[in-house]
Amino acid sequence: MERNFYDKYQYKIADKKVLVYPSDEADRPIIYLHTFSEEGDRVYEALQECRCPDFTLVAISGLNWDHDMAPWDIPPISADDTPCTGGADEYLRLLLDQIVPKAEEQIRGRALWRGISGYSLAGLFAIYSLYQTENFSRAASMSGSLWFPGFAEYVCSREMKQRPEHLYFSLGDAERKTKNPYLKIVQEQTEKIERFYRDKGIDTCFRLNPGNHFKDGTQRTAAGIAWLLER
């Protein structure tokens, strides 16, 4: 295992790259962040600038994005896209059985609570995971792919394994401004899902940020994690 700057540890499990940024104090929260292209350092830097409460960040990359983060199969959503092949359950087993235990060997004390977070498909996965495991009590979905066919219906017709304490959602205000029939409903679906949880008495937040799906991803991700930590 290699230790690097920011007092971080890094290693690989099943071709997934795991970066652990341990808290300074014992018994602090842990946030698991799934990233598309190794954004861990940038997000951690942004969180340090926020002066948020002490915590451990675990950033995971090297994912088979359209497989590991997808709850079930869907065809390509555009001519130049690839299909999603639902491997989320398989990946979640790897996360819980191998990645989480090894990551938590690096922390002081125990996890006060665990959160899960992600951007785009990883934001979808964060919410989906709440229906499969009791391990996470907070979740943040930034520009989450909540347009995913059948997902809103899934959310509203099933019980989560554990009632989460806090849920954060955000989108860019231009994300729905597209002709793509899948993506154009993302704001409608996100607001519907957030409202569903809020009506159940769960502490939720929905933020609409300026820009499209690709604007300020690091800052939006850090904002969602910071909100979870400050509750």
Please write the tens of the pLDDT for every residue from 88-126. Answer: 999 999 999 999 999 999 899 999 999 999 999 999 999
Helix 217-230 to helix 40-50 angle (10° resolution) is 50
Q: pTM of the entire structure?
A: 0.96
- Domain boundaries defined on the chain: 2-230
Determine phi and psi for 35, rounding to 5 degrees.
-125, 150
**Which of 147 and 37 is assigned the larger pLDDT?**
147
- % of the chain surpassing 70 pLDDT: 97
H helices present in the chain, as ranges: 40-50, 65-68, 88-94, 100-103, 121-129, 151-157, 186-199, 217-230
- What mean pLDDT value characterizes the chain? 95
Residue 4 has pLDDT above 70, yes or no: no
pLDDT of 156 reads 95
Q: Which fold has domain 2-230?
A: Rossmann fold (3.40.50)
Tokens 């940038």: give the residue. 42
Q: How confident is the model at residue 50 (pLDDT cuts 50, 70, 90)?
A: confident
Tokens 């359209």: give the residue. 66
